[in-house]
């Protein structure tokens, strides 16, 4: 389970995340929905321990974000959109092997996991090629596989389908659904309404660093009696958001 409690992040005088709170039950998918610059990525960076909160905390997989960031890191897999962090001179396999070793996996377990993920994400054709010349979609699939090679309980995905074509997007959506079926807990950010409706059990709408709604999609639609796009525009107060 994930419980976020009054999480705040300031950069000098700019408050990027404003006392954000929400819960995600084990085995559920939570969508963090907001326009560009709303605070989605900063929130995920805080939860991933990449940034230290100004105040507040979170309990992630039984570990306190502030008191035990090492424990949190042992429970999570992280993917940030547009920042694959892959080593261009290494092959797809070598990138995954390296990350598996960093997480204390044995070579046998790494090889088994790479085969499994390569089959699921349709990467066998280029698994032993250097990633430097890969397309964006190919790199994103390798980045996703690398981020979960160690089978973490909790996944943090920042706009995992950003800039991908329809075929790769559908594959990623299917993969997220399969992770949920395995009992994984997932938070992913997006500004695509259809993606959130398709994948999420609950949603948090964030605007200018502040959560303006948290709950299930059914609760949200019943409350406002509108479709998700109209509700989103009403809550963020900016039609340019879509």
- Residue 58's alpha-carbon distances to 47, 72, 73, in angstroms, are 7, 10, 13
Q: Residue 201 half-sphere exposure, CB side, CA atoms within 13 Å?
A: 16
Model pLDDT, residue 240:
42
CB 227 within 8 A of CB 237: no
pLDDT 10s digits, 134-182: 999 999 999 999 999 999 999 999 999 888 889 989 999 999 999 999 9
Residues 6+ apart with CB under 8 A from 60: 2, 47, 72, 75, 76, 154
If one compares 84 and 176, the residue with the highest pLDDT of the two is: 176
- Report CA dihedral (151, 152, 153, 157) to the nearest 10 degrees: -110
Q: What is the pLDDT of residue 83?
A: 56
In three-state form (DSSP H/G/I as H, E/B as E, the rest C), the secondary structure along 21-48 is: EEEECCCCEEEEECCCCCCHHHHHHHHC
Q: Token pair of 33, please?
A: 């929905």
Q: Is residue 66 over pLDDT 80?
A: yes
Half-sphere exposure of 96 (CA within 13 A, CB side): 32
| Contact by Cβ (8 Å): 58, 44 | no
pLDDT band (50, 70, 90) for residue 82: low
Task: Determine the average pLDDT of the residues in 217-221.
Answer: 89
Residue 162 to residue 173: CA distance in whole angstroms: 12
Mean pLDDT of 77-102: 89
- Backbone angles phi and psi of 23, in degrees to 5: -125, 145
Q: What is the pLDDT of residue 242?
A: 38
pLDDT at 132 over 80: yes
- Predicted pLDDT at 191: 86
pLDDT > 80? residue 27: yes
Q: What share of the chain is helix, strand, coil (3-state, %, to 5)?
A: 40, 25, 30
| CATH dotted code for 2-241 | 3.40.50.300
Q: What is the pLDDT of residue 239?
A: 44
pLDDT given at position 58? 98
């Amino acid at each position: 389970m994930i419980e976020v409690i009054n999480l705040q992040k300031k950069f000098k005088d700019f408050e990027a995340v404003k006392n954000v709170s929400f819960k995600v039950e084990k085995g559920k998918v939570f969508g963090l929905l907001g326009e560009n610059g709303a605070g989605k990525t900063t929130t995920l960076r805080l939860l991933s321990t990449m940034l230290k909160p100004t105040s507040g905390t979170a309990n992630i997989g039984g570990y306190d974000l502030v008191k035990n960031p090492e424990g949190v890191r042992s429970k999570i897999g992280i993917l940030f959109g547009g920042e694959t962090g892959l080593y261009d001179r290494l092959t797809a396999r070598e990138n995954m092997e390296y990350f598996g070793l960093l997480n204390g996996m044995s070579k046998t377990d790494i090889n088994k996991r790479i085969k499994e993920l390569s089959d699921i994400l349709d990467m066998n054709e280029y698994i032993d090629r250097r990633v430097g010349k890969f397309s964006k979609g190919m790199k994103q699939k390798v980045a996703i596989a690398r981020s979960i090679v160690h089978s973490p309980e909790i996944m943090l995905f920042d706009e995992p389908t950003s800039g991908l074509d329809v075929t790769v997007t559908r594959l990623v959506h299917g993969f997220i659904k399969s992770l949920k079926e395995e009992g994984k807990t997932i938070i992913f950010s997006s500004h695509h309404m259809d993606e959130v409706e398709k994948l999420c059990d609950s949603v948090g709408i964030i605007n200018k660093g502040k959560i303006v709604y948290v709950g299930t999609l059914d609760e949200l639609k019943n409350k406002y009696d509108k479709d998700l796009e109209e509700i989103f525009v009403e809550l963020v107060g900016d039609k340019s958001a879509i």
